[in-house]
Amino acid sequence: MAVNWGVIGCGGIARRRTIPEGIVPCEDARLFGVQDINGEAAEAVGKEFNAEFYSTDPDDVLGDNRIHAVYIATPTHLHHGQVMAAAEAGKHVLCEKPLALTLAECEEMVEACASAGVKLGVNFMMRFHACHQVIKQMIEADELGTLIAGQADLTCWYPPIEGAFRQDPELGGGGALNDMGNHCVDLLEQYFGPVIEICCFTARLVHDYPVEDTAQVMLRFESGAAATVLATFALPDQAARWPLVVQGSKGVVYSYKTIGQMSEGSLRVCLVNDNGEYDASQDLGTEMPGKIVTPVGDNIYLAHIQAFCDAIRNDTEPPIPGEAGVRSHKVIAACYESARTGKAVAV
């Protein structure tokens, strides 16, 4: 039997990606109903995808016994109350990130879902990208050797927009770091292991709103390796490259166009079988080294929805459980503390 999904908040990422690319094409999922504070938007999405549309009150979705799971894609400040209500209603929940505004809220959401016996997942869907999974497989197979350093950038052009919750700290909890940098950190921890210390700088360099438009972070991992993150709302989209780089003692792998909302992209892999002796000339040659790898994989939203449905049907752990949202909040909070104090902060 298919998992009947309800969507709370059907604009933005839900409308562009998760509904059409994840829930609708998933064989084990059914888009049953949608709800939004904008009733006209919910009606339009419901009609387009042949789903019921509810009033502007999310309780109408949560009170429908035909719905098994809900996807919550509302502004961050609403996540806590809606997840708590979903748990009370006995619905499994896939929640957008950040999970909540405060660590206490995140932990309460995880506890409430566990007590209610429902699954809680967080939509760090970039983990499912085929290129990102290939990198993880290479690391696990020791193809890169001892990991040394990494880089992950996620950027966009996001000028002031009236009512945009990501530009209001009371509604979104932060700016570019909280909205995009958390994806970068999450990916890097998949490769390098847990972050133990952070140095972060935030600034409003281009846009005049009360959250940071740019954040640069240095992460030190338990292994001793380090990585950098750039998250900015101030770089034109046409100039963006979104590099993801992992360097090790046996070589390097870096991606093009894999961080973000898309499922395409490629890797350049350069592995060295014999490092040889020290070469003072350090001749890099004229050609870019390595080979291009373009792995084939499922759409990242489809892969996450399928995996979440599998967890419901098999009564197993969600692929990216609520605890991942708690962990992300702790790391991002440490970033902001470092930026505020001008000091390195332990996680």
Q: Along the chain (347 residues), what's the average pLDDT of each consecutive run of 10 residues?
A: 96 96 98 96 96 94 97 98 98 98 98 98 98 98 98 98 97 98 98 98 98 98 98 96 96 94 95 80 75 94 98 98 98 98 98
The CA dihedral of 323, 4, 40, 59, to the nearest 10 degrees, is: -60
SS3 167: helix
Q: Are residues 115 and 180 in the same domain?
A: no
103 within domain boundaries: yes
Q: What is the pLDDT of residue 61?
A: 96
Q: Are residues 185 and 95 in the same domain?
A: no
Q: Which amino acid is it at 46?
A: G
Q: Are residues 173 and 289 in the same domain?
A: yes
Are residues 118 and 95 in contact, defined by beta-carbon separation less than 8 angstroms? no
**Could you write out the DSSP letters of every residue in 295-316?**
-----HHHHHHHHHHHHHHHT-
Q: Are residues 219 and 336 in the same domain?
A: yes
Q: What is the pLDDT of residue 285?
A: 72
Q: Are residues 215 and 270 in the same domain?
A: yes
> DSSP strand E in 79-233: where?
92-95, 120-122, 147-155, 195-203, 214-221, 226-232
Q: How far apart are CA 307 and CA 313, in angstroms?
A: 10
Q: How far apart are CA 192 and CA 211, in angstroms?
A: 29
Structural element, H or E, at residue 255: strand 251-256
SS3 126: helix
104 within domain boundaries: yes
**Domain at 41, CATH number:** 3.40.50.720
**Domain at 160, CATH number:** 3.30.360.10
- What's the N-to-C CA distance of the chain in angstroms? 43
Residue-wise over 9-23: b if at least 16 C-beta within 10 A, else e?
A: bbebbbbebbbbbbb
Are residues 87 and 93 in contact, defined by beta-carbon separation less than 8 angstroms? yes
Give the total number of structural domains in the chain. Answer: 2
Q: Are residues 195 and 342 in the same domain?
A: yes
- SS3 for 24-48 is CCCCCEEEEEEECCCHHHHHHHHHH
Q: How far apart are CA 108 and CA 115, in angstroms?
A: 10
Q: Which amino acid is it at 177?
A: L
**Among the residues of 141-212, which ranges form H helices?**
169-172, 176, 182-192
325 within domain boundaries: no
Q: Are residues 266 and 160 in the same domain?
A: yes
53 within domain boundaries: yes
Distance of CA 311 to the CA centre of its chain: 19
Note the pTM of the prediction, 2 decimals: 0.96
Q: What is the pLDDT of residue 83?
A: 98
Report angle CA 176, 177, 181 to the nearest 5 degrees: 105
Domain span at 172 = 127-297+330-346
Q: Are residues 174 and 315 in the same domain?
A: no
Q: Are residues 181 and 243 in the same domain?
A: yes
SS3 211: coil
Q: Are residues 36 and 76 in the same domain?
A: yes
Phi first, then psi, for residue 78 (nearest 5°) are -95, -15
101 within domain boundaries: yes
227 within domain boundaries: yes
Q: What is the pLDDT of residue 130?
A: 98
Q: Are residues 115 and 196 in the same domain?
A: no
User: Which of these, 158, 138, 171, 146, lies nearest to 267 by C-alpha position?
Assistant: 138
Q: Are residues 231 and 310 in the same domain?
A: no
230 within domain boundaries: yes
Q: How far apart are CA 308 and CA 22, in angstroms?
A: 11
